[in-house]
Amino acid sequence: MEETVEDPPTSTVLLDHCHFSQVIFNSVEKFYVPGGDVTCYYTLTQQFIPRRKDWIGIFRVGWKTTREYYTFMWVSLPVDLNSDSAKQQEVQFKAYYLPKDDEYYQFCYVDQDGVVRGASIPFQFRPENEEDILVVTTQEELEILKSTAQKLEQEAKAQKDGWETELLQLKEQNQKMSSENEKMEVRVEQLQAQLSTREKEMEKLVQGDQDKTEQLERLNKENSQLLLTLTQQKERQKKLEQTVEEMLKQEETTTLKKQQALKDENAGLSRKLSENKIIYDALQKEKERLERENDLLKRENSRLLSYMGLDFDSLPYQVPTSDQGGAGQHPALVYGNPYSGIQESSAPSLLAVKKCPTCKSDYTGDILDFTSEQQRPQPLCLSCPICDKTFPAKEKQIFEDHVFCHSL
């Protein structure tokens, strides 16, 4: 497979969002000799399905995002994912594209979404040395450690989702501690490798030459110092882990208290909103009822005024006051009592009206007299003052029932 010019899909996903146990790298050497091609062997687990844009990159140890690759190669998709041969895959990196320094690097399998699915143990590019001793960690132990770290990171992230702003400072401290922890782990591995080298040298000195007793004592002293340094590094790492755990517990307690306070406040506001809604609905219904009653009273006033031969718009509007009758005594009447301005003493003035209230015929003041039913003029027809419908004079009862129906 040849490396193409197209850049691989990457992301800013941090280490705590990766799944390192889904792709397992096999037969990774402690170091590779510069100038030669490097073959990377890896195994796909049953939980992982490869895709067309997946790739394997070489990353310097200590990387933070998948954009920090040194070089990469596209992976080849197996024909049958269910076969055993499909699970065992390999890619080859050409010597021209490999790093030229002696820093520590590792293989990382990255899917087309930019998520890391597997990572190898660190290795170097340097010439072979007879004193190099490979320190092997079983894949099962590595998976258990990675799975435990992943679960702890997921639990910590789930507790921090709702309070990212308040936990930003703690997250920065945690990242610094993680960086220091990674450096200490690398240092521990180096110390373990040096310790193993010293032990081998001690065995060779004891078996080969007894005259090198002085050199053996010197190596024993160096070995003791390395053991002491290793113990101190482990203790410091343990203290850092305890500090991070205590800080996360304290932040979790504070978060739960704030969440409970917000829930209580939300419940109180919901109850108050419900009460206000009930009061609003009752007032709205009362308002609608009063408006309907007001409309009925207005129509009734118009009908009565029409019977009396008065025009509602021609009546003078009196603003109700607290010391007057009228609307002050009848709060349900928006326009006041239309009869409040008519006094008993002014009743004879209504008799002087020169138009009939039903047929609108003109009469002189001497002829129009309502004091006697026999002297009242009989109109030829009766006209409804509301809808202008006419009735014969002999159907007076029907006419009155018709007018009354308008008021219902």
pLDDT of residue 397: 87
Angstrom distance (rounded) from CA 355 to CA 335: 26
CB 108 within 8 A of CB 61: no
Reported confidence tier of residue 235, pLDDT bands at 50, 70, 90: very high
Domains in the chain (CATH in brackets) are: 23-124 (2.60.40.2840)
pLDDT of residue 327: 42
pLDDT average, residue stretch 314-333: 47
Write down the mean pLDDT value for the chain.
77
Reported confidence tier of residue 297, pLDDT bands at 50, 70, 90: very high
Angstrom distance (rounded) from CA 383 to CA 360: 9
The CB density around residue 259, as the number of other CB atoms within 10 Å, is: 12
pLDDT of residue 137: 53
54's CB contacts (< 8 A; 6+ apart) are 74, 75, 109, 110, 111, 112, 117
CA angle, residues 288, 294, 296, in degrees to nearest 5: 105
> Which of 67-76, 352-361, 375-384 shows the lowest mean pLDDT across its residues?
352-361
Query: E-strand spans in 279-405?
Result: 381-383, 390-392
Give the three-state DSSP class for 279.
helix
Q: Give yes or no for residue 321 having a pLDDT over 70.
A: no
Angstrom distance (rounded) from CA 32 to CA 106: 12
> Which of 24-33, 43-52, 82-91, 190-199 shows the lowest mean pLDDT across its residues?
82-91
The larger pLDDT score, comparing residue 159 to residue 153, is at 153
Identify residue 293 by its one-letter amino acid code: E
The CA distances from residue 18 to 106, 115, 147, 157, 214, in Å, are 15, 6, 11, 13, 51
pLDDT average, residue stretch 157-175: 64
What pTM was computed for the model?
0.33
pLDDT of residue 57: 96
Q: Which of 112, 5, 18 minimizes the C-alpha distance to 56?
A: 112
Reported confidence tier of residue 320, pLDDT bands at 50, 70, 90: very low
pLDDT average, residue stretch 100-104: 91
